[in-house]
Structure 1
Amino acid sequence: MTTLIKLEIARALRNKMFLFFSVIYPSALYLLIAGRADHTPMPGTTLDMGLYFMVSMASFGAMTAVLLGNSERIAKERANGWVRQLRLTALPGRGYVAAKMGAAAAISLPTIVLVMIVAAVVNGVRLEAWQWLAVLACTWLGSFAFAALGVAIGYLANADTVRPISMLVYFGLSFLGGLWMPLTVLPKWAQDIAEWVPSNAYAALGRAVEAGSAPHVKDIAILLGYLVVFAGAAAWLYRKDTRKA
């Protein structure tokens, strides 16, 4: 499994377009949105634009790496026969799924770090040392749920349909997760739905730390619940695909 993780990371690093959109693009978006922000709190929050969008763009970039990267790569690997070759090795199904999640999460780490560096250096964001570390840990560990979702979509869709499906899920989660704007500006029915969406709980972890408190138990529970569901779905779809092969 370790060998496969190293191989997956090496393959991702060779894809310059993927690296741009998953690592550099979120930081560029952060500067575009919050580069000249003042310290006025965002609607419905105690965080200013610099803090609010630091977590938003770090989460957005991590989701790009683990969700889009996993889903499209797996669908293409199924089409070209690479997954079939892996099944001939001693690697178990759970090892394959875990390797895909681990490799994607490793790629997401530079994305999160770069957004945080840009926020601190360019936009003057200031936090206590423990807050920087906690925001990094929450944003990185939380991305595993979306890595599992990416694996599931990669086995649910084929090479022709994976991109529209993954993009629809990706932008839907970004919107309902409050990554583009505070949820308080949305209609009440949308806020009620967003309260149970994994991306909202994901971003809420880092924002709670920025506000000086620990992540809420409800958000942690929601994200862990989705991780179990997505990982279980990915494993089931992998086994189903194996029976077809």
Structure 2
Amino acid sequence: MHAATTLRAPLRAHLAEARCELLRMAREPAFCLPVLGFPAMFYLLFAVVLNRGNPGAAGYLLASYGAFGVIGAAMFGFGVTIAVDRDRGYLRLRRTLPTPPGSLLLARMTMAMLFAAAISLLLAALAATAGGVRLAPAQWAGLALVNMAGVLPFAAIGLWIGTLVGGNAAPALLNVLYLPMAFLSGLWLPLSMLPGWLAKLAPAWPAYHLGQLALKVVGHDDGGRTWAHVAVLALATVAFFALARRRLHAGG
């Protein structure tokens, strides 16, 4: 009985933290609308309006814009909020509160994964109706799983950036990284349309590896090994979370 009570108390705390975080972000239309709207808008423009009925291109862009949207939700959801919380002294205040270790990060990870799921569902609906994309049920589910798991490395990168700069500088710095990385990773258009030397540099970006995992689900990847993409993303997750943790513990 005592053990069950001991387990339930932290669980209730984690759930309450997650609920508060979700309410906080839901009440921020400046975050929700771009995060959900930009991938859908780009998909409608490039995969539907300009595509002119090519289901293969629409399938490629379904995977690549899904990865693009998830990366933005993860990086901005962590980077900006952590930077703002540092500026306000909220993180120092939390050290004095009897909350379970890591509850804030778990809550924000839950928030980012739910946004990833929402982006996946929205793009899937557009692809199946307006884009003419036809996939097996396992492929639709696979895209959603890749997108939700893909939150981890980019949440780590966003968290690290949020420990480096203040709340005013974080959005600008994140955009400077996010937009070029997405373009150079083949998420906006196929790498074959870029100059050869730029395409060869694409594997240096974590976004390339998430994009390739998503493209592999729909059969449009470059043929790389799944384990190699997963390994790069796992390494990025561990490395950037470690860097962020050191900064946070140092009071950075």
**What is the TM-score with the length of structure 1 in the denominator?**
0.88
Q: Deviations over 1:155-192 (max 9, x none)?
A: 11112321221111111221122111111222333222
Matches within 5 A, 1:229-244: 229-241=239-251
Structure 2 residue matching 1:35: 3-state secondary structure: helix
Task: Give the AA of the match of 1:21.
Answer: P
197-206 vs 23-32, greater mean Cα deviation: 23-32
Matches within 5 A, 1:125-204: 125-204=133-212
Q: Distance in 2 between matches of 1:63 and 1:223?
A: 12
Unaligned runs of 5+ in 1: 41-46
Query: How far 1:39 moved relative to its partner?
Result: 6.2
In structure 1, the residue matched to 2:235 is: 225
Structure 2 residue matching 1:89: 3-state secondary structure: coil
2:116, 2:148 within 8 Å by CA — same for their partners in 1? yes
Instruction: Give the root-mean-square deviation of aligned CA atoms.
Output: 2.1
In structure 2, the residue matched to 1:6 is: 19
Q: Distance in 1 between matches of 2:146 and 2:137?
A: 14
In structure 1, the residue matched to 2:3 is: none
In structure 1, the residue matched to 2:74 is: 66
2:99 to 91, 104, 107: 91
Q: Distance in 2 between matches of 1:153 and 1:99?
A: 19
2:67, 2:214 within 8 Å by CA — same for their partners in 1? no
Q: Deviations over 1:195-224 (max 9, x none)?
A: 131100001111111118997221111111
Q: Distance in 2 between matches of 1:58 and 1:220?
A: 17
Task: Give the AA of the match of 2:86.
Answer: R
Q: Distance in 2 between matches of 1:39 and 1:224?
A: 37
1:139, 1:205 within 8 Å by CA — same for their partners in 2? no
In structure 2, the residue matched to 1:210 is: 218
Q: Deviations over 1:50-71 (max 9, x none)?
A: 0111112111111221111221
Q: Distance in 1 between matches of 2:240 and 2:166?
A: 18
In structure 2, the residue matched to 1:21 is: 34
Task: Give the AA of the match of 1:207.
Answer: L
Identity %: 26
How many residues are matched? 236
Task: Go from structure 1 to structure 2 and tell me whether the alpha carbon gap of 1:93 and 1:164 turns closer, same or farther (over 3 Å shift).
Answer: farther
Q: Distance in 1 between matches of 2:113 and 2:164?
A: 21
2:202, 2:208 within 8 Å by CA — same for their partners in 1? yes
Task: Give the AA of the match of 1:229.
Answer: A
**What is the TM-score with the length of structure 2 in the denominator?**
0.86
